[in-house]
Amino acid sequence: MPAPPQHLAPSELGTKAYWDSAYTQELSNYASNTTTDDEGTVWFSDAGAEERMLAFLERLADEGELRKERSGDDGEAVSGGGKEADGQGKLEAKATRFLDLGTGNGHLLFALREEEWSGEMLGVDYSAQSVALASQIATRKGDEYRDVRFQEWDLLSQGPGAWLDGGFDVVLDKGTFDAICLSQETDAQGRRICEGYRDKVEGLVRKGGRFLITSCNWTAEELRGWFEGEGSELVYEDAVKYPSFTFGGKTGTSVATLCFKRKS
């Protein structure tokens, strides 16, 4: 099992002030620009990370592990979501529920909806300006995005609300852990706050659910060091494929996306 890697040097990208300022600017730009589809920065777009995450989730849906649409009871067991009774007492399979951590402008959730994922989607961010931006984009996109919700919430300092509802089928992280690892803040135990991230994430994933994380600061092996190990309920499941390069006799990629599954 890989050991937890060494900490990164702190950076302004690990501060709330930086992200508040960045999203204040993007919010201002978006509010004043009604003639284009520019919704702000899409992180890791140069690596095609979002598209690769979507393709990975699509494959899980094709394999019956996740469910894109809500459907009636066909008598078969359903993976990737529970069942609930409708108004007539009939059991229905619920579509996959998504939680996006550090949602930014909400682009990943909007992309999921565009790919016809119909389940509940919630994006959370500790920056109020981020939430305002994502909410405005959803409103401008129209009624079909009205149920993609956004909420101001600090993962590391606040407990989840009633919206947790037993946990999400898929929890997403596209660069959020990277930013947290650049913070020099410490927790009550004197640890860098990134060290408590895994425990917080575990409680957001339903048992048997998945955590899909994309990073440019950590290799696949280093991410496994952060999220597996003693006491962890997360088990490595798979990695998203990226073009690789070889330098100095070692082969690697500039971005890593890993999927972990929470033990049932």
pLDDT of 6: 87
Q: Which whole-number Å values give the CA distances from 227 to 71, 122, 166, 218, in the listed order?
A: 33, 23, 21, 12
pLDDT of 90: 43
Nearest alpha carbon to residue 97 among 63, 39, 57, 156: 57
pLDDT of 97: 98
Nearest alpha carbon to residue 130 among 18, 1, 215: 18
pLDDT of 243: 80
**Cβ distance 86 to 73 under 8 Å?**
no
pLDDT of 31: 86
Instruction: Return the DSSP state at 10.
Output: P
**Cβ distance 96 to 86 under 8 Å?**
no
CA–CA distance, 59 with 111 (Å, rounded to integer): 16
Q: Phi first, then psi: give them for residue 87, nearest 5 degrees.
A: -65, -20
* 3-state class (DSSP) for residue 136: helix
Cβ neighbour number for residue 33 with a 10 Å cutoff: 11
Residue with tokens 């407990």: 159
CA–CA distance, 144 with 29 (Å, rounded to integer): 24
Cβ neighbour number for residue 194 with a 10 Å cutoff: 22
Length of the chain: 264
What percent of the chain is helix, strand and coil (3-state, nearest 5)?
35, 25, 45
Q: What is the pTM of this model?
A: 0.88
Phi-psi region of 26 (alpha: psi -120 to 50; beta: other; left: phi over 0): alpha
Sketch out the chain's domains with CATH numbers.
12-31+42-66+93-262 (3.40.50.150)
Residue with tokens 């993007």: 26
pLDDT in tens, the chain (264 residues): 556 678 999 999 999 999 999 999 999 999 888 766 667 777 777 888 999 999 999 999 999 999 999 765 443 434 445 545 444 444 457 899 999 999 999 999 999 999 999 999 999 999 999 999 999 999 999 899 989 999 999 999 999 999 999 999 999 999 999 999 999 999 999 999 999 999 999 999 999 999 999 999 999 999 999 999 889 999 999 999 988 655 444 444 689 999 999 999
- Tokens representing 137 are 């984009």
pLDDT of 253: 61
Q: How far apart are the first and last CA of the chain?
A: 21
